[in-house]
Amino acid sequence: DAKTTQPNSMESNEEEPVHLPCNHSTISGTDYIHWYRQLPSQGPEYVIHGLTSNVNNRMASLAIAEDRKSSTLILHRATLRDAAVYYCILRGNSGGYQKVTFGTGTKLQVIP
């Protein structure tokens, strides 16, 4: 199973940008990189995903390294509501069915 590695925790000041890194050195050519976040007492929610090119949506941006062995989730202006555990996972596109492996995630603390 493809695995990801993330820092256990990070801190950010409110209204400042946050860069959350993820290493996925065993990524295969057809794996998509997904980011989800989990707020306290809730199920994870989708943030963003990409394959090779950088991606932007209303929540965040995803920067993918050229060799695809790492990626960075960028929150442009952190708010208190962004305090959550952020998970980076890989989802295959091989035509088969894959287990989804979650790492330990990064707990983001936003300081007012």
Residue 74: CB minimum distance to other proteins, A: 19
- DSSP letter string, 44-97: -EEEEEESSS-EE-SS-EEEE-TTSSEEEEEESS--GGG-EEEEEEEE--SSS-
CA distance readout (Å), 49 to 10, 13, 57, 87, 112: 21, 25, 10, 12, 28
Binding site for other proteins (CB under 8 A): 30-32, 34, 36, 42-46, 49, 51, 87, 90-105
Of the pair 46, 76, the CB lying nearest other proteins is at 46
Least distance from other proteins to the Cβ atom of residue 36, Å: 7
Between residues 10 and 107, which has the closer beta carbon with respect to other proteins? 107
Distance of closest approach, residue 19 Cβ to other proteins, in angstroms: 22
Q: Which residue number, 10 or 91, has a Cβ lying nearer to other proteins?
A: 91
The structure tokens listed for 95 are: 């035509």
Taking every pair of Cα atoms in the chain, the longest distance, rounded to a whole number of angstroms, is 45
Report the nearest approach of other proteins to the CB of residue 86 (Å): 12
Q: What does the block give as tokens for 64?
A: 């993918």
Q: Which is nearer to other proteins, 18 or 90 (CB)?
A: 90
